[in-house]
Amino acid sequence: MAARRPSKTPLVTPTSFADLGVPGRLVAALQQVGISTPFPIQAATLPDSLAGRDVLGRGRTGSGKTYAFALPVLARLSAATSPRLPGRPRSLILAPTRELATQIEATIAPLVAALSLRTLTIFGGVSARPQAGALRAGVDILIACPGRLADHVSTGHAILDAVEVTVLDEADHMADLGFLPVVRRLLDKTPPRSQRLLFSATLDAGVDVLVRRYLSHPVTHSVDSARSPVAAMTHHVLQVRHDDRLPVLIDLTAAPGRTLVFTRTKRGAKKLTTQLVASGVPAVELHGNLAQNARTRNLAAFSAGDARTLVATDIAARGIHVDDVALVIHADPPAEHKAYLHRSGRTARAGASGTVVTLMTDDQATDVRDLTRQAGINPTVTRLGPGDSLLTELAPGERRFVTPPVATTSPHHGRGHSATRRPDQRTATGGSTASATRGRGSDSGRASAAESTSGPRGAAAFSSRTRVGGRRGQR
C-alpha cells in the first residue's frame, strides 16, 4: 500500500450533516435521536469517508468517533444494490471489547432501522451457535470482536470476501490487548480494494503497521491529541492515609449522580464493590472474571441508574459510554498515562463537564506525579481525611445510603447458595458522611431498589436512606 497522505489538522468548524454530504434519510434519522450538529472529528472525516477514501481518524475518547465511521458505512450500504448473502457480511466493524461492540450496535440501531438494514454483534463469552445461525441468515453490518470472528471464519460460518468497508475502532487498544495478529489475518480475508477506516486515540507502532499495510492512500485527520485534557474536566489528586481510602470512597460514591471507580485488578474491583454495597452504596462490578450475562446486567443497571456506582478494571476504560457520568475515581492509580487518560475520558463526554479524582497514598506520590506529568495533566493535589469539606465540593449533594441485602439460607436455592430478603425501610439522623456504617440520615420518603450482582446471590433489594448533617462541609 502507498504511504499515507500528510496529516490534515485544520481547525474544523462544525456544520450541518447535510452540508457534509450525509444522505437525507440519515440526517433525518439523526435528528430523530436529537443529533443535529457534528462534532469536530465527524466534520473532519466525513467528506473523505463518504467519498470512499480510506481514512485514519485520531481523536481522544469521547470525541464522537462512532458516528464518524458509522455514517459512511450506512450511507454506502443504503446506496448499494448488492444483496445480503448467507455468511457474507457487507461491512465489518472490529472492536476490542464486548462492551464496546454492544455499545456501537446500540448507538447505530436507530439509523439502521431507518434504512432497513440488518446488524449482528458477535463476541466471546456466549454461545457461538446463535451467532452462526444469524450469519447464515445474512447481515449488512457485522460488529465483532476479533477472537470470536476468527472462530467463525475458521469454521466457515463467516466469509469476508463480500465486505465493502471495514472499520477498526479503538485500534490502539486492540494493539494493547495483543489482537494485532488476528486482526491482520481477518483483514487479509477482506477484498484488498475495499474501503477501510481506522479510528484510534493514539498512533503507536502497532497501529502504524496496520495503516501502512491495509490502508490505501489514507487521509489522516487528527482533531486533537490523546494527551489533550478536556477543558470541562477538572483533575484532583487526594492524598490519603491507607486506612482512610475506603471511607473517602464511600463518601464520594454516596453522592447523587453516576460514579465510575477504577481499580487495577479484577480481585480489587470485586472486593471494593462488596465493601461499597455493605456500606450502603448501590454498586456493581465490571471485569473480565464475570460471565457475559453478568457483565451485561451490571452495565445495564449502571446505565439505568439502579446502581449509581460502577467499579471496574481497565476493561471499562475504552468505549464504554454512559450518559451523565459526573465523577471518575482512580481508586488505584493506573500503571501508565494512557490508561489514565482513557479512564478519565468516561466523564466530560460530548461537551459535558466532569470531575476526575485520583486517590493516592504517600508511597504512591512519586508514581502519580510522573503519571500526571506524562498525561499532560496539572491536577490539584490535596491531603485530606474523611469528612473534609472538599469531598462535598467534588461530589455535591446529600449522601444517600441503602440498607444492604440480608442473606438467608433457603432450600429453594440449593446447597451453597444464598437467598436475599428485603429489609424494612428505616430512618435515622446524625452521623458523618465519611463513614457509611454509622449514623444514617433521615429518609427521603421514597424507596429505591438496586440490583447487587457482586456476589453469587444474584438480584438483591435495597431500601433507601439519606444522611444529613455530620462533619464540616455538609450541604
Domain termination residue (choose one: 202, 222, 242): 222
Any domain includes 368: yes
| Average pLDDT across the chain, whole number | 80
362-387 as b/e, with b when 16 or more CB fall inside 10 Å? Answer: eebeeebeebbeebebebebeeeebb
**Cβ atoms 419, 413 nearer than 8 A:** yes
> Alpha carbon of 369 to those of 53, 126, 226, 229: distances in Å?
42, 41, 19, 16
Q: How far apart are CA 348 and CA 344, in angstroms?
A: 8
The whole-angstrom distance between residue 213's C-alpha and the CA centroid of its chain comes to: 29
- 262 in the same domain as 152: no
Average pLDDT over residues 244-252: 96
- Reported as a pLDDT band with limits 50, 70 and 90, residue 319 is low
Statement to judge: residues 186 and 315 lie in one domain: no
Statement to judge: residues 206 and 303 lie in one domain: no
Task: Compute the 3-state secondary structure of the chain and give helix, strand, coil in percent, each to the nearest 5.
Answer: 35, 20, 45
Task: Kindly provide the b/e burial profile for residues 283-321, where b requires at least 16 CB atoms within 10 angstroms of the residue's own CB.
Answer: bbbbbeebeeebbbbbbebbbeebbbbbbbbbbbbbbbb
**Residue 261: its H or E element:** strand 258-262
For the CA atoms of 106, 70, 63, 326, the dihedral, rounded to the nearest 10 degrees, stands at: -10
Average pLDDT over residues 72-100: 92
Percent share of the chain, pLDDT over 90: 53
**Which of 81-90, 199-208, 358-367 shows the lowest per-residue confidence on average (mean pLDDT)?**
199-208
> So what's the pLDDT on residue 104?
92
The lowest-confidence range among 153-162, 175-184, 318-327, 373-382 is 318-327
Count CB-CB contacts under 10 A for residue 408: 11
C-alpha cell at 291: 460471565
* 1 in a structural domain: no
**Which residue stretches of 156-243 are H helix?**
171-176, 180-187, 205-214
pLDDT at 365: 93
Q: What percent of the chain has pLDDT over 70?
A: 76
Q: What is the mean pLDDT of the segment spanning 74-97? A: 93
- Of 222, 251, 273, the residue at which a domain comes to its end is 222
Is residue 460 predicted with pLDDT exceeding 80?
no
Residue 61 has what pLDDT?
61
| Whether the predicted pLDDT of 367 surpasses 90 | yes
**Residue 323 clears pLDDT 90, i.e. is over it:** no
Count of residues for the chain?
475
392-405 as b/e: b if 16+ CB within 10 A: bebbeebbbbbbbb
Q: Which residues lie below 8 Å from residue 413, measured CB to CB, with a gap of 6+?
A: 419
Same domain for 154 and 80: yes
pTM: 0.62
Confidence at residue 314, expressed as pLDDT on a 0 to 100 scale: 84
Binned at pLDDT 50, 70 and 90, residue 178 comes out as confident
The reported pLDDT for the residue numbered 419 is: 37
Q: Could you tell me the three cell numbers for 267?
A: 480481585
pLDDT, tens digit (0-9, with 9 covering 90-100), for 387-438: 999 999 999 999 999 876 554 433 333 333 333 333 333 333 233 333 333 3
Q: Are residues 294 and 273 in the same domain?
A: yes
Q: Give the distance between the most distant pair of CA atoms in the chain.
A: 70
In this prediction, residue 466 carries a pLDDT of: 46
**Both 193 and 247 in a single domain?**
no
Mean pLDDT of 52-80: 88
Q: Does the pLDDT value for residue 232 go beyond 90?
A: no
Torsion angle in degrees (nearest 10) through CA of 319, 323, 327, 330: -20
Does a structural domain hold residue 320?
Answer: yes
- Higher-scoring residue by pLDDT: 294, 467: 294
The 3-state DSSP class for residue 12 equals: coil
Both 211 and 238 in a single domain?
no
CA angle centred on 267, ends 265 and 273, rounded to 5°: 105
Phi–psi pair at 396, nearest 5 degrees: -70, 160
Structural domain includes residue 12 = no
In a domain, 475, yes or no: no
- DSSP string over 267-321: HHHHHHHHHHHHTT--EEEE-TTS-HHHHHHHHHHHHHTSSSEEEE-GGGSSS--
365 and 250 in a common domain = yes
Residue 380 pLDDT grade (very low, low, confident, very high; cuts 50, 70, 90) = very high
Reduced to 3 states (helix: H, G, I; strand: E, B; else coil), residue 28 is helix
Q: Could you identify the residue written with the cell 435495597?
A: 462
- Categorize the per-residue pLDDT at 292 as very low, low, confident or very high, splitting at 50, 70 and 90: confident
pLDDT of 445 higher than 50: no
Residue 273: pLDDT over 60: yes
Residue 142: its pLDDT value, please?
A: 98
| Gap between the Cα atoms of 423 and 56, Å rounded | 55
Give the pLDDT of residue 335.
85
Name 408's bridge partners. 419
Shared domain check, 239 and 215: no
Residue 348 has pLDDT above 70, yes or no: no
d(Cα 310, Cα 328) in Å, to the nearest integer? 10
| Cα–Cα distance measured from residue 432 to residue 145, given in angstroms and rounded to the nearest whole number | 46
For residue 242, the domain's CATH number is 3.40.50.300
User: What are the C-alpha distances in Å from 443 to residues 83, 402, 446, 463?
Assistant: 60, 10, 8, 10
Q: Which domain holds residue 454?
A: 233-467
β-bridge mates for residue 464, sequence order: 402
Last residue of a domain, one of 222, 245, 275: 222
* pLDDT range class, residue 65, cuts 50, 70, 90: confident
What pLDDT is attached to residue 423? Answer: 37
Q: Per the structure, how many domains does the chain have?
A: 2
Q: What is the pLDDT of residue 150?
A: 96
C-alpha dihedral, 210 to 214 to 218 to 220, nearest 10° = -20
Do 105 and 145 belong to one domain? yes
Does residue 473 have a pLDDT over 60? no
Residue 19 lies in a domain: no
The answer to the question of residue 474 being in a domain is no
**Beta strand 233-239 with 91-94: parallel, antiparallel or unpaired?**
unpaired
Alpha carbons 200 and 155: distance in angstroms, whole number: 30
Could you tell me the pLDDT band of residue 469, with boundaries at 50, 70 and 90? very low
Higher-pLDDT residue of 70 and 320 is 70
Mean pLDDT lowest among 11-15, 180-184, 225-229: 225-229
What does the pLDDT average to over 9-34?
A: 82
Most trustworthy range by pLDDT among 53-57, 226-230, 336-340: 53-57
Same domain, 367 and 329: yes
300 and 446 part of one domain: yes
pLDDT of residue 411: 39
Q: Is the pLDDT of residue 295 over 50?
A: yes
Lowest-confidence pick of 43-52, 118-127, 170-179, 340-349: 340-349
In a domain, residue 211? The reply is yes
pLDDT band at 176 (very low <50, low <70, confident <90, very high): confident
Dist. CA 389–CA 400, nearest whole Å = 17
Q: How far apart are CA 46 and CA 72, in angstroms?
A: 7
Task: Work out the number of other CB atoms within 10 angstroms of the CB of residue 264.
Answer: 16
